[in-house]
Amino acid sequence: MSYTAGFAVMEVSVRGTLPVGDTTENVTYFILDTAKSTIVGQVILPNAVTRSLAVSLTVKVPSAAGSLAIGTFDEGGTFQVASFLRVEIPAVDPSGEHPGGAVGPSAR
């Protein structure tokens, strides 16, 4: 997903462990800003895998997004949270400028 210049974005992590079973299809999981009931991102994953598999994906979403959830929509259009996936928002320092955590070397 790309954004037009001028929109501020942040990177969030989608993490979890996929269900074990036979893969029959790929599923689109939507990242929802629950405060605004707005879709802000998506990932496509298999509905199952033959052995336990942890996933960790980085997704860009609008920085104005509030509380986030990940899931699918049922036939009636109701959002269903995926119990085996979660969206993690990076920690931000008190100034609001830099994500927390370790920082690696940078090339100059």
Tokens representing 95? Answer: 């100034």
Question: Is residue 32 classed as helix, strand or coil in its secondary structure?
Answer: strand
Query: Does 39 fall in a domain?
Result: yes
For residue 104, name the pLDDT band (cuts at 50, 70, 90). very low
CATH number at residue 78: 2.60.40
Question: Which residue do the tokens 């959002």 mark?
Answer: 79
Percentage of the residues of the chain whose pLDDT score is greater than 90: 64
State the total domains in the chain. Answer: 1
Note whether residue 55 is domain-resident: yes
pLDDT digit string (tens) for 51-96? 999 999 999 998 877 799 999 999 999 999 999 999 998 776 444 5
Its domain, for residue 44, covers 13-84
